[in-house]
Copies of this chain bind each other. A is one copy, B any other.
């Protein structure tokens, strides 16, 4: 690979970068360039923030990633060798990053060191000609690499493929069983589940491709990932939540003069901001459906509380949700990111608890009365705030530390908190991941759910403002309960499972590492195995509930709670 890259750089300075083709292809990229011009705010953020101990603010991280993504293309590779492929690409520019993965065929993410590389590549690309009469000629940075050699298509060429999905639970259990301590098991789980560098690049690239669609009408817009793709708690294979940001539009801040003549754009009006969001998503969704290659199963869910367009992006394998005007969710993402970056044990515990919860059906990929990943994460954060000494500060404390640049009021809610790691300072808690895990199960085994509400803003139990089995205060819209979907039986299951796991971790046979080549599951691995107490109970209840009832409640929650799972 290193040799091939050097080869690329050599070629790049060669005769292949044609002035003429650049000029012409440049036009293609102009829409994307606009964003760069208006994101001066982001740029300033990046420069001001060199990072504390290598930890950067989410905003500057996003800006870097977006910029990388705009220099990248996604290529279906067919059968080739890495060497041949890179040699071809290097005719168009210096390739700064390239990796391969599999999803409905083999794809490559190719990042050039400059936009002119992309421009040159697109200039050389052809519109599929064999059947061009029935091709929708919408050009994008999603391409196919063809090799028509004398010998016909070659055999698969043994490219190194980067995994884009998490290992199956059984494989994970085996892997964890081979570790020597529970702390090592936790690290190994995080390692296996967390988003890879490549997966994050791919997510930003898909956002960037979608931005090209939206930028068609709103040249100054941006499409930003939020939620698990960027909050630090995402698992390989998780959905890609995106947010179409129109606030960067120039002309919004142009104030007409008090006197004298001025010009205004004529624009269509809508009855409300919500109606505008619906219109914009409707047209963008229509275009994704009709034009955008690789996007299938497009659903416009415009009447949801938070209108969205849902689709599958086949080349990346991502299930995508595009929303607009969803700033509180973005703030939520920033907060989780901040907590996750403050101490490595935060992400370790969140990943572990989420994996454990999923293994026992506490959480689910289907909307319903289950505890959501976001709720579960808030429960972990709350638990860490309640340690003595506290492992995490309260949100109120983070708000106190906020500087003028951090001030933010959205929809009437105060969403201010510092994003400066330097201001927060290190904590004094020294517990190990194992100790924290045990303590977590103990904590929620005996939590007074019936009367107390969980509040990471205050960092201590609050009295419940309303009747609901599980009450977790929304960190920003504090009058809302993020877990109002959870019913009593699901909460009971969660508590029973906590009790069971707490009990298991007190048993000598559970906490003693196994031996040999295929050791029996122990420690964390044992916790991930089917439960003795809670599994059968629930399966019974679900069987007795009529199917129509279950489907009805699924549909209801899909409609009402779409906004909740975006964290």
A→B interface (CB under 8 Å): 23-24, 27-28, 30-31, 33-34, 37, 75-76, 80, 84-85, 88, 121, 123-129, 131-140, 142-150, 213, 216-219, 246, 249-252, 254-273, 275-276, 279-280, 282-283, 286-287, 290-294, 315
Q: Across the interface, do B27 and A134 meet the contact criterion of CB distance under 8 Å?
A: no
- Which of B76, B149, B261, B290 contacts A147 (CB under 8 A)? B261
Q: Say whether, besides A251-B125, A254-B124, A145 and B263 are in contact (CB < 8 Å).
A: yes
Which residue on chain B has the smallest CB distance to residue A273?
A: B133
A267/B136 contact (C-beta < 8 A), A129-B256, A219-B28, A286-B282 known: yes
- On whether the beta carbons of A263 and B125 are closer than 8 Å, the reply is yes
**Residue of B125, B138, B150 touching A264 (CB-CB under 8 A):** B125
Residues of B near A282 (CB, < 8 A) are 286, 290
By beta carbon, the residue of chain B nearest A137 is: B249
Which DSSP category, helix, strand, loop or mixed, fits chain A's interface?
Answer: mixed
Least CB distance from A161 to B in Å reads 20
Are A148 and B275 touching (Cβ within 8 A)? Answer: no
Contact A270 B135, CB 8 Å, known A258-B148, A260-B147, A263-B121: yes
A34 to B271: give the CA distance in the assembly, Å: 35
Beyond A27-B30, A76-B266, 4 additional pairs, beta carbon < 8 A = A121-B263, A126-B262, A143-B264, A144-B264
Which residues does chain B contribute within 8 Å of A258, judged by CB atoms?
A: 148
| In the complex with contacts A31-B31, A258-B148, A140-B271 CB distance below 8 A | no
Asked if A268 and B125 sit within 8 Å, CB to CB, the answer is no
A251 to B275, alpha carbons, bound, how many Å? 38
Q: Contacting A126 at CB < 8 Å: which of B75, B256, B261?
A: B256
Residues from chain B with Cβ under 8 Å of A261 in the complex: 80, 84-85, 88, 145-148
- Interchain nearest-CB distance for A269 vs B (Å): 6
Distance of A504 Cα from B293 Cα, bound (Å): 66
10 pairs of A and B residues whose beta carbons are closest in the complex? A216-B216, A30-B30, A126-B254, A266-B293, A27-B34, A125-B263, A133-B273, A127-B251, A136-B268, A279-B290
What is the minimal beta-carbon distance from A90 to any residue of chain B, in angstroms? 12
Q: Are B262 and A138 in contact (CB under 8 A)?
A: no
